[in-house]
Amino acid sequence: GNSVTQMEGPVTLSEEAFLTINCTYTATGYPSLFWYVQYPGEGLQLLLKATKADDKGSNKGFEATYRKETTSFHLEKGSVQVSDSAVYFCALKQTTNDYKLSFGAGTTVTVRA
């Protein structure tokens, strides 16, 4: 079956530091991959996505590249801000006949001023 493994948290960083959150997946075929962000007290928001190998998703300074050869979709941001403090979820969706996302366990990121 499908599964997503995320780097365990919590992660604590200083402002302007570089952030990487590792995500690897197990799936058949060519799934679509997503990163969601959840700010305190809120639901999840789509941060970025990639639908095929070598695609790079980007949004709000965050980037992730779909690596088929390493089955990975690591999230990166070059210079974090306090406002980036949140929980980040990696997720995948099989392309055919499966309409449920498989989520990782989430990684809590805290950015200190």
Partner 1 sequence: EADIYQTPRYLVIGTGKKITLECSQTMGHDKMYWYQQDPGMELHLIHYSYGVNSTEKGDLSSESTVSRIRTEHFPLTLESARPSHTSQYLCASMAANYGYTFGSGTRLTVV
Residues that bind partner 1 (CB under 8 A): 32, 34, 36, 38, 40-46, 49, 51, 87, 89, 91, 93, 95, 99-101, 103, 105-106, 108
- CB nearer to partner 1: pick between 57 and 74: 57
Of 7, 3, 1, nearest in space to 23 by CA: 7
Q: How far is the CB of 36 from partner 1 (least distance, A)?
A: 7
Q: What is the secondary structure of 30-89 as a DSSP string?
A: --EEEEEEE-TTS-EEEEEEE-STT-EEEETTEEEE-BTTTTB--EEESS--GGG-EEEE
Of 75, 74, 84, nearest in space to 13 by CA: 84
- CB nearer to partner 1: pick between 7 and 79: 7
Q: How far is the CB of 9 from partner 1 (least distance, A)?
A: 9
- CB nearer to partner 1: pick between 19 and 48: 48
Q: How far is the CB of 52 from partner 1 (least distance, A)?
A: 11
